[in-house]
Amino acid sequence: MGVYIVISVLILIASALMVLVVLVQNSKGGGLASNFASSNQYMGVRKTADFLEKTTWTLAVVLLVLSLFSIFSIPKNQGTTPVQESEIKKQIDQSKASPVKDFQPNPAGGQAAPAGKKK
């Protein structure tokens, strides 16, 4: 159970980071990179866009791997607590125990007569 919670928290953190990275990017190539337009910057405009793109792809892969790994860490019922039957299953079992008599339609258009009785 503890591993599943840790993976769930990591998925939430990676999702939040991905949202922030995508919001920083601009669809037309601007975004955060446009703020660093001077030519003497260490990370220029193009390098910032490359960094954001690589970060986006890395977070996408991390989300994929964590999601796949979470499938294997889902806690399974070990039989310590009895599984409660649903109401539908109870009704089905009760209907099997007490079968309803078959009815045949009345050709005269009235109410149906029981299958064992004929007029």
Cα separation, 34 vs 44, whole angstroms: 9
The Cα-based distances of 114 to 18, 97, 108 in angstroms read 68, 20, 14
Q: For residue 33, give both structure tokens.
A: 């990179």
CA-based R_g, the chain, Å? 32
What residue spans define the domains of the chain? 2-72
Q: Is the dihedral of CA 84, 86, 90, 93 positive or negative?
A: negative
The average pLDDT across 21-41 equals 63
The residue that leads in pLDDT, 32 or 107, is 107
Coil/strand/helix, residue 92: helix
Q: Please report, as a single letter, which amino acid is at residue 109.
A: G
Render pLDDT for 7-17 as a digit per residue (tens, 0 to 9): 999 999 999 99
Tens-digit pLDDT profile for residues 46-95:
677 788 889 999 999 999 999 999 998 887 766 555 556 677 888 788 77
Looking at residue 16, what is its pLDDT?
A: 95
Scanning the structure block, which residue is given the tokens 């607590």? 81
